[in-house]
Amino acid sequence: MKIPFAANICRQRNLVAVCGIACLLFLTEGLWATQAHSHRPKRDCVDTSGEFHIETQTQSEPVVSKSGIKVTTEVTATAVPRAKKDESCHVEWILRVTPPKERTRRIVVSSGEDAGDETNDFSVLGWSRDEDKILTVMASEQGDSKGYVPVVYSIRQQKSWIINLDEIFNKIAGKECKFSFEPSGFTSDGKIFVSLSADADLPEGAQPCLRLGGWLVNSDGTGAEPAPSSLHGVVTAVKEDEIMVRPDRRDGSVVAPVAVLINSATDHMFDRDGYFEFKDLRAGEYVWVWYDSTENAKPNTAAAVMEWHGKTGQKPPVAVRWRYDSATPAQQK
């Protein structure tokens, strides 16, 4: 389950550069990503001795691209003294890149302080199709709140940059519009795919201030646009690892249900606010599906499933059903 997170947690910790908001939509052409979630380094900067010299360091297992580029991520945390008995952690997020027959490059992509009560992950999501750019994601977790920040490194340019999703979406929807994001990987044309969900309770009858679902973000961080859903329709059956969906057709024709595979990485949200659990999904409910087309994904595996908030057995209005087939940013009533 994807956990929603508060947008202001990192600002409160003076960690805008380290852990702002970030976020699944995949284009049909495919995402070129190699997941490394099983090797996420975590750090816990806790002073158990009463002195402020605790230092921890964790490093991931190497992730290797098709052409032999080896990448590891590393998080270091050093406890530093604060007033009275409080302490803080100085955290560094380090990327190590070793192209074939070259020396390892050590890149500190971000650094800053937190209060010592956060768990930080640094993961490799994958490469661009030409393997020039590496997409990583910094994640900071505090209690039930979790924030994601994508970081891109260019091998040719030999530099990294943080994608400020908070800033990008504020320009589109305004600073008062609140949502949650999670990045997933590169599309075949080099854009970053992220899922967007509303993390605030909306008043009855209100609509989200921005179209939810999948978005495509420019790899240089200059902007974003929505991406069309892969299919949408009525759920006809729910199993442990798949759902059957009868796709809607504009001509009204009836087609056979499609088996959509789901797994622990499949994102799941309502089209207004909040998240649902797959175990609570029922036949007769209406969903939109975005396929996971990463290189190693099985066919018809869902990267994200969004459920209509209306009553089971009722279809959304026609305008709502086709809303996510286009790249219109505004949420329409």
* DSSP-derived 3-state class of residue 65: coil
DSSP code, position 23: -
Q: How far apart are CA 300 and CA 304, in angstroms?
A: 11
- Rounded alpha-carbon distances, angstroms, from residue 163 to 212, 229, 298: 19, 24, 29
pLDDT tens per residue across all 333 residues of the chain: 332 322 222 322 333 333 333 333 333 334 443 333 334 444 455 544 444 334 455 778 888 998 999 999 988 877 776 555 556 778 889 999 999 999 999 999 998 876 555 667 888 888 888 899 999 998 876 555 567 889 999 999 999 999 999 899 889 988 888 788 888 888 778 888 888 887 666 676 677 888 888 888 999 999 999 888 999 999 999 998 999 999 999 888 889 999 999 988 788 888 877 778 888 899 999 999 988 766 667 889 888 899 998 888 888 998 888 888 865 544 433
Locate 253 and state its tokens: 């024709």
Collapsing DSSP to helix, strand or coil, 47 comes out as coil
Task: Give start and end residues of each alpha helix (H) in the chain.
Answer: 9-12, 165-173, 318-321
Beta bridge partners of 154: 133, 159
As a whole number of angstroms, the distance between CA 191 and CA 184 comes to 11
Looking at residue 205, its amino acid is G
C-alpha dist (Å) from residue 119 to 45, 55, 114: 9, 14, 10
